[in-house]
Homo-oligomer: A and B are copies of this chain.
Amino acid sequence: MKLIEKEIIAKLRRRGYKLTPQRRAVLNVIAASHEHLTPAAIYERGQQEHPGIGLVTIYRTLEMLAELGVICKVNTEGSSRSYLIRRASGHHHHLICSGCNTVVDFTTCDLGELEQKLSRKTGFKIEGHLLEFIGYCQKCQKVASA
């Protein structure tokens, strides 16, 4: 049982949610990963944290955490499963290889100006963003040309 930020737990409590070992397990798994995880992947890893945890509970917990804003739902490639990542700061930046599905994070990004412009134009209150570049990593470029 690894550390979970107290802040998140407090947030659950404030909303009247109970802190069950299953929820702790899901939180731990997500907090420990630096990548998007599918419900199935979280289920698998969750077994180590809380043997016997059900897939249904994973789905329910993820939905709740997303609603609380603790994690983020991301609509990824891959025959259409919804992945999840934990929120860093409302920003998500990835380079994704179409060949091997490697995900590389990057931090440089200056979208502030665009964000403001869009906000003015559409009336949206923007709270976060996701920027993903899709392409081929060096390794997969070599494989393809071989």
Residue positions of A touching B, CB distance < 8 A: 72-73, 75-77, 79-82, 90, 95, 97-98, 104, 106, 108-111, 114-115, 117-119, 121-138, 141
- CB–CB B134/A122 < 8 A: no
19 A-B pairs within 8 Å (CB atoms) are namely A72-B134, A75-B75, A80-B82, A95-B118, A95-B122, A95-B124, A95-B126, A97-B124, A104-B122, A106-B121, A111-B131, A115-B133, A119-B135, A124-B137, A125-B135, A127-B136, A128-B133, A130-B130, A130-B134
Q: Is the interface of A mostly helix, strand, loop or mixed?
A: mixed
Please give the count of copies of this chain that the complex contains: 2
- CB–CB B129/A124 < 8 A: no
